[in-house]
Amino acid sequence: MRLLLVEDDPVLGDGLATGLSQAGFTVDWMQDGAQGEAALAAEDFDCMVLDLGLPRLDGLTLLRRARSTGNQVPVLILTARDATADKIAGLDGGADDYLVKPVDLDELAARIRALTRRAHGRATPVLEHGALRLDPAAHRLTRNGEEIPLSSREFAILHHLLANAGRVVTRAQLEQALYGWQTEVDSNAVEVHIHHLRKKLGSEVIRTLRGVGYLVSK
């Protein structure tokens, strides 16, 4: 799951980026509002975590502009303690949730999962496909109740495919979901992970559409 974090405080931003990465998210961290807006316009994110007080372009303006152009990304704003006016302005400006600083990382991760779940139209957190059950919060995949151990990248790929079941997902989309922008991606990295997934799950779960991408049927 790919997140856009827009936070100018270097210590807080670094802590959030690191913590959310460890929680299994792919994080792109932008340190001012203009960078954040450019990133949002250029890429698809599953969720944006947005500070309000930002250099170059404040968070509220960024949010209002994004909504005015039809961008539907789920947005969680980070606000200063007791700044009720900020919370109201943020929610009215198109945010879906807010969290007061200092941020509890576990709570932030849980709220992001809840927001992205709702955005995909699911009330329940667990994704099911035949006998497979993928639980994003527990980072756990089971088949008929038996756990199938996956690496974090394999888990991320399967999560993305199951969340988009019935739709073709391109290799580029999977690379972005896995790595964000910051890392150079080995050109066959996705194929290697898919190969390992097929060994663990059987070859019938993930279909390859040659030259197009990958598909898990609904």
| Residue number of the CB atom closest to Ca ion | 53
Q: How far apart are CA 109 and CA 111, in angstroms?
A: 5
Q: What residues have CB less than 8 Å from 101, skipping those under 6 apart?
A: 12, 78, 79, 80, 81
The amino acid occupying position 48 is M
Over the window 50 to 89, marking each residue x when it contacts Ca ion by CB under 5 A and - when it does not, the resulting string is: -x-x------------------------------------
Q: What residues have CB less than 8 Å from 27, skipping those under 6 apart?
A: 2, 3, 5, 16, 17, 20, 21, 180
Look up residue 6 and give its DSSP letter.
E
> Minimum distance between the CB of residue 86 and Ca ion, rounded to whole angstroms?
11
Over the window 133 to 172, marking each residue x when it contacts Ca ion by CB under 5 A and - when it does not, the resulting string is: ----------------------------------------
Comparing CA positions, the residue from 103, 98, 101, 75 lying closest to residue 88 is 98
Q: Return the half-sphere exposure (C-beta side, CA atoms, 13 A cut-off) of residue 144.
A: 1
Near Ca ion by CB under 5 A: residue from 2, 5, 6, 8:
8
> Minimum distance between the CB of residue 59 and Ca ion, rounded to whole angstroms?
8
Q: Does 32 bind Ca ion (CB under 5 A)?
A: no
> Minimum distance between the CB of residue 22 and Ca ion, rounded to whole angstroms?
23
Q: Which is nearer to Ca ion, 101 or 195 (CB)?
A: 101
Q: Which residues bind Ca ion (CB under 5 A)?
A: 8, 51, 53
